[in-house]
Amino acid sequence: GLSSFFYGYYMLFSILTVLTIWEAKSVEYAGLAIALIPILCWSFEHVAKFLRRNFSRSTLYRKYLEEPCVWVESNNTTLNILTSHAEIGLGFLLVLSLFSWQRNIIQTFMYWQLLKLMYHVPVTAAYHQSVWAKIGRTINPLVHRHAPFLKTPLSAVQRWWLR
């Protein structure tokens, strides 16, 4: 359904981002590692479910793979929060890359639209909203104390984000 389309679109975009960062070679290795986190977490989750469903009676599975698969399935929330942190971190890395020779305005714009979508879509909303709340609790006091002139632009961005 819609969630399959959403994840397929996100995976395609993540893979394209990884390939772009791989070729770029400046913020590359940090960006590449961050871009790979959501792909790996998603893969671990699906591989663990597949192995548990299809090989649970296998001796090899029970001996070597059952414990890691159970860990992945029982820590699904942790993996989703890690994924949300990585997705948002990658968004900020893309903004920073706009100030380098490898700037890609269209990719950055599309990625931020995707982040906005993930903030509102029920499947990922709880994880993304908790990460953004954490960022807000960290950034807002610093802005109010050291850069009060940024209050108006930040509130405009927040209004756009919440639309």
**Whole-model pTM over 0.95:** no
Q: Which of 104, 158, 90, 153 is nearest to 129 (CA)?
A: 158
Q: Are 112 and 56 in contact (CB under 8 A)?
A: no
State the residue range of the domain holding 77: 2-162
C-alpha distances (whole Å) from 57 to each of 65, 66, 73 are 12, 10, 18
Q: Are 74 and 52 in contact (CB under 8 A)?
A: no
% pLDDT > 70, the chain: 81
| 122 token code pair | 């029920």
Specify the 3-state DSSP secondary structure of 99. coil
**pLDDT one-digit tens code per residue, 99-137:** 887 788 998 999 999 999 999 999 999 999 999 999 999
- pLDDT bin (cut points 50, 70, 90) of residue 36 is confident
Report how many domains make up the chain.
1
pLDDT of amino acid 45: 93
**pLDDT one-digit tens code per residue, 39-54:** 889 999 999 999 999 9
Lowest mean pLDDT among 5-14, 29-38, 154-163: 5-14
